Amino acid sequence: MDHENEKEPQRVIDLLNANRNFSYLIKKAQSLLALQKLISEMLPPELQIYCRVVNIHGTCLILATSSGANATRLNYLAPELIQRLRFHDQWRHIQTIQAKVMNLNI
């Protein structure tokens, strides 16, 4: 076997970043993860584990939570969260927050 012609192994992340579609998805996922961390830090401790960033659609941040009661709390906190997000350049475009009840498998 001729080892001189073998290519060095590549990291999966490098292969995915080489494709424009995958690169976009990776950047979007990284962005949502960063926003998840930030939102969690803004929430009361008892709500943190029951809230997940799902997506951003235009100027609307979509959050998932495990119950209607938690969705109500998130809707109540939404104006404060939006105000605090304005201090972060990447998120200052967010104008509304929509809380959806979903199974989070917690």
pTM: 0.79
Q: Which CATH architecture has domain 3-101?
A: 2-Layer Sandwich (3.30)
* Mean pLDDT over the full length of the chain: 89
**Looking at this protein, which amino acid is placed at residue 20?**
R
Q: Using CA atoms, how far apart are residues 63 and 81, in angstroms rounded to an integer?
A: 12
Q: Cα dist. 61→52, 55, 92 in Å?
A: 11, 6, 11
Q: Is the pLDDT of residue 2 over 60?
A: no
**Looking at this protein, which amino acid is placed at residue 62?**
I
- pLDDT for 78 equals 98
In this prediction, residue 4 has a pLDDT band, given cuts at 50, 70 and 90, of low
In this prediction, residue 7 has a pLDDT band, given cuts at 50, 70 and 90, of confident
> Residue ranges per domain, the chain?
3-101
Q: Using CA atoms, how far apart are residues 106 and 93, in angstroms rounded to an integer?
A: 30
In this prediction, residue 104 has a pLDDT band, given cuts at 50, 70 and 90, of confident
